[in-house]
Amino acid sequence: MFNKIRLWKNQNNSSILRDKIEEIKKSPVPEHVAIIMDGNGRWAKKRALPRVAGHHEGMKVVRKTTMLASDLGIKTLTLYAFSTENWKRPKNEVDYIMKLPEEFLGTFLPELVENNVQVKMMGYKNQLPIHTLRAIEKAMEKTKNNDGLVLNFALNYGSRAEIIDAVKQVVTDYKSGKIEESELNEEVFSSYLMTSEFPDPDLLIRTSGEIRLSNFMLWQLAYSEFWFTDVLWPDFNEEHLLEAIEVFQKRQRRFGGI
Ligand code: FPP
């Protein structure tokens, strides 16, 4: 297991990182990590590059984060790649982001397969360009029998819309007699959400210094630990992920108890 770990900073500090990884693995790691990958535009602006250059760099960080999450034994990694509100961005930027899953999966799918990663997606599929959807569905099909890390892309995802749709479905099921009022509880309601197959995130990470949820997993994050960093997503690296997990491991989760 140890030599499977690939370090994306292959420099002098790699043995320190290796030790850190091994140390972290001695305590329970979060089962489900969700990340709001923010700051791509600012990263590009700082370098006088077009915003899309930041998204492209951000895509590379997705790969590295996925590999480290897999090595650490994290079970689910949910990445907020595009929100239902992101359609408001300039067309060229939206078009570019919609091509990234193809590029990402076109390049890295063999590596994901090799590492037993299972690709999934949550979000409204109908509005996605067909080329984007095809790339994701192909990856889902090719990795469906893998049982390692679940890499769950939140693409055209919005939490309020998800909750409203869940409520509508509950009402439909109530009217048709599929569910009684007395049967509805938090667990049952969760089963109506796009995340029905996953446990709630244990840890939420948001990069770029913004301290908000931006319509991301509002129901599911009720008891999650939050870790915010000023680091822009394209600069996010192994040490940052490990730091977030270390902080998580030191927190006491009480779930409302004492
Ligand atoms: C937010 O940063 C980032 C996005 C809306 C896009 C995130 C997409 C990626 C990181 C690549 C996804 C890769 C795959 C494979 C789907 P921002 O543009 O809002 O940054 P800013 O706040 O600095 O402007």
Which CATH number characterizes residue 101's domain?
3.40.1180.10
Q: Report the alpha-carbon distance of residue 124 to residue 136 in Å, rounded.
A: 13
Rounded-to-integer distance, Cα 157 and Cα 215, Å: 9
pLDDT of residue 141 exceeding 60, the answer is yes
How much is the average pLDDT of 107-136?
A: 98
Q: Is 235 a catalytic residue?
A: no
Which structural domain, as residue segments, surrounds residue 115?
A: 33-158+200-248
| Annotated binding-site positions for Mg(2+) | 38, 225
The pair phi, psi for residue 256, each rounded to 5°, is 90, -10
What local confidence, expressed as pLDDT, does residue 3 receive?
44
Mean pLDDT of the chain: 95
Rg (CA), the chain: 19
> What is the phi/psi pair of residue 215, to 5°?
65, 35
Per-residue pLDDT for 151 more than 90?
yes
Say if 181 falls within a structural domain: no
Position 1 scores a pLDDT of: 41
| Local confidence band at 8 (pLDDT 50, 70, 90 cut-offs) | low
* Residue 2 or 16, more confident: 16
Residue 106 in domain:
yes
* Residues flagged as binding site for substrate: 39-43, 51, 55, 83-85, 87, 89, 206, 212-214
Please indicate, yes or no, if residue 144 is contained in any of the structural domains.
Answer: yes
- Residues 192-232: tens digit of each pLDDT: 999 999 999 999 999 999 999 999 999 999 999 999 999 99
- In the chain, the number of structural domains is 1
pLDDT of res. 13: 64
As for ligand 1, residues whose beta carbon falls within 6 Å of it are 37-42, 55, 58-59, 62, 81-82, 86, 97, 100-101, 104, 153, 208, 233
**142 vs 252, more confident:** 142
Answer with the residue of higher pLDDT: 191 or 17: 191
- Measured CA to CA, the distance from residue 98 to residue 82 in angstroms comes to 9
Selected catalytic residue, list 10, 12, 38, 126: 38
216 occurs within a structural domain:
yes
Ligand 1 atom, smallest distance to 103 CA: 15
pLDDT at 2: 42
Q: Is 38 a catalytic residue?
A: yes
Summarize pLDDT for 211-221 with one digit per residue, the tens: 999 999 999 99
pLDDT at 256: 85
| Substitution site in 40, 133, 152, 228 for ligand 1 pocket (most atoms within 8 Å of beta carbon) | 40
